Structure formats: C-alpha cells, structure tokens
C-alpha cells in the first residue's frame, strides 16, 4: 500500500510529466504534419492519406519524445519540492532525497514498459502499415493527378496523356492517348485499355498499354512510321525519393533478432536503447532536480534538454557505427547506457552525501 507522501509525490510527477508530454505531442504532430505535407507536395503520397499518415507516423515518433517527457516531468516535479522548501519539511519527517526514487519508479517503470511496447511492436507495425498504404496508393493513376477526360502533362517526356475512362481505384483505364515530342519528332500512342504498375515496391511506375497503335515522325517530312502493338509500356515521371524511408524500420523485432546483417543488429540495439534511455534519464533527473529554495523554476530545463539531445544523438551515432561496422556487434550500445548509469549513480551518491551533511 502506498504511503500518503508517495501518493502526493506520484500525483506531482504525473501532473508534470503529463503536461510536458502534451506539449511535446503537439510539437511532434506539427512536425509530422509538415513532413507529410512535403511528401504530398513531392508526389510521394496522395493527399487522401494525410490524416492516416500523421497518426501512424506519430506512433513511430512517440518513443523519441516519451523519455524526454518523463525526464522533464521528474525534474520539474522534484525541483518544485526544493524551491518551495517542501523537501526541507519532508527531510524533517524522515524522507531523504533517496526517498524520491520510490515515487519516481512508480511512474517510470510503467512508462518504460509502454516504451518497450511502442519501440518493439507498435512503432514498426505503424511504419509497415504506413508504407503499405503509400505503396498501394502509388499503384493508382489518381496519385499523379490523372483524371478521366483531362489532359495531364508528362514533364520528363515532354508530352501529355489523356484517358477517356478510369476505374474507381485508378489502376485501370480505357481509350488512352499519349503525345510526346523530342528532337523535333512527335510520337503519338493510342490504346484501347491499360493499367498502371510498378516494376518493384517503391520503384518506377509504368503504363501498360494494350491493343493500340503508335505513330512517330517529324512534322512536314515524309517517313512516318506506324505500328500496331498488343502491349507497350510507357514510363511515367519518376517519383522523388523519400529520404526518411529506412527499410529496417519496417522489420518486426523477431526478424531483426534472426538477421545477421549489421544494419538489422543496429536497429535492434536502437529499439532496445529507447526504453533504457527513459529509465536512465529518469534516474538522472532525481539528483539533477536539487535546487536552491528561490532558484528560478526553469533554471535546469536547458541542462536537461542538452543532456537529452546528447544522449539521443549518441544513440543515433551508435546505430550508424554499428550499421557500418565501426563498432562490433557485441558492443551494441551498452557502452552508452553504462556511462549514463555510472553518471546517475555518481550523482545520486553525491546527492545523498550532500543531504547527510545538511542533516548534520
């Protein structure tokens, strides 16, 4: 059964962490919206998937912001106890600074479990679903703005395309007309029907034309050629590359464990590092929250954010080093977590000694 003081401290921690988490979530959703709109503008995905992509991509980003929300929440809640002299009252009642670890653990351990669920399962599943929706949409002519009864420009081929009818999903069409010009020559292609296909997942898109004619030649000169075809493929404008797409992010955790590829091992250690970072950052926040009674409320926020940025950047650097073989797979990211744990223990020991001296 929780003590009264533990329930009080737990409420403070939940309130602070919840407020910080809500603000960070708004920032993440705003950033995801910006990235998603950019992908729509570049033709990587259709506008109809905007809301679903924001939701799925936000799930993938949550493991990056929850450690910071927990870190800042513990720092702010415990720091208020020192600034308002409540910690002095608690110390007089027999609650030392080490006693703050118990309520911090009550909020940290469930958060770490949630982070592990997001990092190992929900996050990769959201990425797979997001990519599957985009890949399915890219097999539709609607993505490139083609509509029945409307001329559409083919920029890379210096031409236009027209379809008379189109299926509701935009994958099949009828009565197609294509006009191209290059080097002073014109190329006119017609087809009774056809379909859109990709040569591979996320690859180039082609129009497969069936039962048509092709005429090519230079205007004003003889020598036009005409041929009839059963099938003819025309490549559409290339999709702009999506720089944020990493295939290893889509893989299930069990696939990463079974793989011997360095890039897969690096991704697994990164996923493992996210919940561990939340645990270690919350442990660091307890000694860092000590402050003078009249110290400004947000005096240590900059230090906390800097510590988080350094930690996450080292996580990303370590993942890159593991992927390219700079670090051996056996080393993983344990060197970083070990250093953070050692720093937290040193600060906790120093904080306990400082509290003992004040008590004497």
Which of the listed ranges 3-7, 39-43, 48-52, 169-173 does the model predict with the highest average pLDDT?
A: 48-52
Name which of 360, 359, 353 is nearest 90 in CA terms. 359
Q: Return phi, psi of residue 61, to 5°.
A: -90, -20
pLDDT 10s digits, 168-193: 777 788 888 888 887 778 888 899 98
pLDDT of res. 118: 92
Which of the listed ranges 2-11, 227-236, 287-296, 348-357 does the model predict with the highest average pLDDT?
A: 227-236
Summary mean pLDDT of the chain: 82
Q: Which of 130-139, 243-252, 277-286, 342-351 has the weakest average pLDDT?
A: 243-252
Note the pTM of the prediction, 2 decimals.
Answer: 0.73
Q: Return phi, psi of residue 133, to 5°.
A: -65, -40
pLDDT of res. 144: 58
Report in angstroms the alpha-carbon separations of 224 from 210, 212, 214, 217, 227: 22, 17, 10, 5, 10
Strand order through the sheet with 172-182: 152-154, 159-166, 172-182, 185-198, 205-217, 225-235
């Amino acid at each position: 059964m929780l003590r009264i003081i533990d329930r009080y401290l737990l409420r403070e921690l939940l309130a602070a962490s919840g407020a910080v988490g809500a603000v960070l979530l708004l920032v993440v959703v705003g950033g995801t919206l910006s990235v998603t709109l950019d992908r729509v503008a570049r033709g990587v995905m259709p506008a109809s998937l905007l809301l679903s992509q924001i939701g799925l991509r936000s799930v993938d980003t949550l493991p990056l912001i929850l450690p910071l929300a927990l870190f800042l929440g513990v720092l702010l809640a415990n720091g208020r106890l020192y600034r308002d002299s409540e910690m002095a009252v608690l110390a007089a009642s027999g609650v030392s600074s080490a006693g703050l670890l118990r309520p911090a653990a009550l909020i940290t351990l469930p958060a770490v479990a949630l982070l592990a669920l997001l990092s190992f399962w929900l996050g990769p599943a959201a990425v797979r679903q997001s990519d599957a929706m985009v890949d399915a949409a890219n097999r539709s002519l609607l993505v490139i703005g083609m509509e029945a009864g409307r001329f559409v420009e083919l920029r890379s081929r210096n031409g236009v395309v027209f379809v008379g009818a189109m299926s509701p999903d935009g994958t099949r069409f009828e009565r197609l007309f294509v006009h191209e010009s290059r080097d002073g020559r014109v190329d006119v292609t017609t087809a009774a029907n056809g379909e859109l296909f990709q040569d591979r997942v996320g690859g180039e898109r082609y129009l497969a034309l069936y039962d048509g004619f092709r005429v090519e030649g230079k205007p004003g000169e003889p020598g036009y050629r005409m041929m009839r075809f059963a099938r003819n493929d025309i490549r559409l404008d290339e999709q702009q590359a999506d720089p944020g797409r990493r295939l290893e992010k889509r893989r299930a955790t069990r696939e990463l464990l079974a793989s011997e590829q360095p890039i897969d091992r690096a991704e697994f250690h990164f996923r493992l590092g996210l919940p561990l970072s939340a645990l270690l950052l919350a442990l660091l926040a307890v000694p860092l929250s000590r402050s003078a009674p009249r110290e400004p409320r947000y005096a240590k926020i900059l230090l906390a954010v800097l510590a988080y940025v350094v930690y996450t950047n080292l996580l990303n650097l370590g993942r890159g080093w593991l992927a390219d073989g700079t670090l051996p797979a056996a080393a993983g990211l344990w060197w970083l977590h070990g250093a953070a744990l050692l720093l937290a223990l040193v600060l906790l020991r120093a904080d306990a000694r400082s509290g003992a001296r004040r008590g004497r």
